[in-house]
């Protein structure tokens, strides 16, 4: 065993000492050369096929590409009202809040004949709920809140509250935005309509914004989504990403633009 560890001689020679009659050096080197050739051939093939692209998934071009589009879940209508839990829609929403539902009191049956030996349950006062290790999801409240509130309990696109800024501010690089501002408006509108704010964790600080990058092809279909700048709130990032993915198409790119596709970065601000 020691001879294996501290022998400075080449491997082949050591083996040759043990099996002196079998020539192994030449076949071993031949095997090395063969494996080397195979490996090199594989590398070369990989390199070569890299130059000839076909069947690229998500490729906006034709030929074998399968483009997966996510279906939009929202009503394709503009949302002018801030979201609330009302299940009833009205034409004339008012700013006044709806009255709260009256609490149902536990009734005591006065006419019940007390049976001796059986303990009568007294109406329990509503004690504060103890914190449970597993919070069940809140029971959905189907109560219609009258008070002329616009309804939007449908997972319909909700729009972010318009801030006190002075009108639309879209920063555009390249001259696409200045030539085809209406198309940028369409992109902005469709994605913000598909953005569900309730997907975002309520503890996210106001003003946090996530930036999503995607690419729009000639037919207006977006692809290649990725989070280009995170907002440090994973729920906001994901909901913004999903909002962009929900759009099937923004409509054909303007005919006057010679672009094959448009790179878009979109900010969702909470």
Partner 1 sequence: MKIHFRILPLLLFLLVCLAPPQGRAQDWVHTGTNLGNDRIRISAADFKRVGADPQTPALKATFDATLYNDLANAGIFDLVSKSMSPQTTPGSPQEINLTQWSDAPANAAMVAFGALSATNGRLVVYGWLFDTHNTANPQVLGKQYNEAASDDMARTVAHRFADEIILRLGGGINGIAETKIYFVSSRTGSMEIWAMDYDGQNQHAVTHLGGLSLSPRISPDNTRLAFASMGREGWAIRMYSLELGRMVSFPAGATGGSNLAPAWSADDSKIAFSSARTGDSQIWIADPSGGNLHKITSLKGPNVSPCWNPRTNAQLAWVGGRTGLPQIYTMDQDGANVQRMTDGGYAISPSWAPNGQLLTFSWNRKYGPGDPGGQDIYVMDIASKRWLQITHESGNNDFPSWAPDGRHIVFQRSSGGRSAIWTMLADGTDQHQLTRTGNDKMPNWSWK
Residues 215-234 that bind partner 1 (CB under 8 A): 220
Out of 98, 188, 238, 242, point to the residue binding partner 1 (CB under 8 A): 188
Nearer to partner 1, 49 or 260 (CB): 260
The total number of residues written for the chain in this structure: 270
Q: Which residues share a beta bridge with 222? A: 216
Number of residues that bind partner 1 (CB under 8 A): 80
The distance of closest approach from Cβ of residue 108 to partner 1 in the complex, given in angstroms and rounded to an integer, is: 23
Residues 6+ apart with CB under 8 A from 177: 170, 171, 184
Listing DSSP states for 118-164 in one string gives SPPPPPPP-PPPPPPSSPPPPPP-----TTTPPP--SS---PPPP-S
The distance of closest approach from Cβ of residue 221 to partner 1 in the complex, given in angstroms and rounded to an integer, is: 9
Residue 23 within binding range of partner 1, rule CB under 8 A: no
Say if residues 169 and 181 touch (Cβ distance below 8 Å).
no
Out of 176, 199, 204, 225, point to the residue binding partner 1 (CB under 8 A): 176
Say if residues 186 and 250 touch (Cβ distance below 8 Å).
yes
Would you state the structure tokens that stand for residue 15, as one six-digit string? 């083996």
Would you state the structure tokens that stand for residue 12, as one six-digit string? 């082949």
Say if residues 52 and 43 touch (Cβ distance below 8 Å).
no
The distance of closest approach from Cβ of residue 193 to partner 1 in the complex, given in angstroms and rounded to an integer, is: 7
Binding to partner 1 (CB under 8 A) within 125-164 occurs at 140, 142, 144, 151-156, 159-163
Closest CA to 220 of 192, 196, 190: 190
Nearer to partner 1, 15 or 156 (CB): 156
Q: Which stretch binds partner 1 (CB under 8 A): 8-16, 27-35, 113-121, 177-185?
A: 177-185
Say if residues 224 and 254 touch (Cβ distance below 8 Å).
no
Say if residues 156 and 74 touch (Cβ distance below 8 Å).
yes
Out of 54, 121, 175, 202, point to the residue binding partner 1 (CB under 8 A): 175
Out of 15, 65, 98, 186, point to the residue binding partner 1 (CB under 8 A): 186
Q: How far apart are the two ends of the chain, measured CA to CA in Å?
A: 70
Nearer to partner 1, 113 or 171 (CB): 171
Nearer to partner 1, 193 or 233 (CB): 193
Out of 24, 168, 229, 232, point to the residue binding partner 1 (CB under 8 A): 168
Nearer to partner 1, 15 or 98 (CB): 98
Nearer to partner 1, 102 or 117 (CB): 102
Out of 171, 202, 203, 206, point to the residue binding partner 1 (CB under 8 A): 171
Would you state the structure tokens that stand for residue 226, as one six-digit string? 């990725």
Binding to partner 1 (CB under 8 A) within 54-113 occurs at 71-73, 75-80, 87-91
Measured in degrees and rounded to the nearest 5, phi and psi for residue 57 equal -75, 130
Chain-centre distance of CA 74, in angstroms? 16
């Amino acid at each position: 065993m020691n001879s294996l560890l501290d022998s400075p001689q080449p491997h082949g020679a050591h083996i040759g000492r043990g099996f002196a009659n079998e020539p192994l050096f030449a076949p071993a080197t031949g095997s090395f050369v063969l494996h080397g050739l195979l490996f090199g051939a594989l590398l070369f093939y990989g390199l070569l096929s890299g130059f000839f692209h076909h069947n690229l998934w998500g490729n906006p071009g034709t030929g074998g590409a399968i483009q997966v589009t996510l279906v939009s879940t929202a009503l394709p209508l503009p949302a002018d009202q801030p979201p609330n839990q009302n299940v009833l829609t009205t034409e004339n929403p008012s700013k006044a809040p709806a009255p709260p539902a009256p609490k149902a009191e536990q009734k005591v049956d006065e006419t019940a004949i007390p049976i001796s030996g059986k303990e009568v349950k007294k109406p329990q006062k509503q004690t504060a709920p103890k914190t449970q290790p597993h919070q069940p999801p809140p029971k959905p409240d189907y109560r219609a809140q009258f008070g002329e509130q616009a309804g939007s309990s449908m997972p319909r696109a909700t729009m972010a509250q318009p801030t006190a800024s002075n009108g639309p501010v879209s920063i555009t690089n390249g001259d696409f935005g200045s030539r085809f501002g209406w198309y940028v408006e369409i992109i902005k509108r469709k994605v913000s309509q598909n953005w569900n704010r309730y997907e975002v964790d309520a503890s996210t600080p106001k003003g946090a914004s996530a930036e999503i990058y995607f690419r729009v092809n000639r037919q207006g279909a977006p692809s290649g989504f990725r989070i280009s700048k995170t907002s440090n709130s994973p729920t906001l990032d994901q909901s913004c990403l999903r909002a962009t993915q929900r759009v099937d198409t923004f409509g054909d790119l303007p005919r006057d633009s010679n672009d094959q596709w448009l790179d878009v970065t979109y900010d969702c601000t909470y």
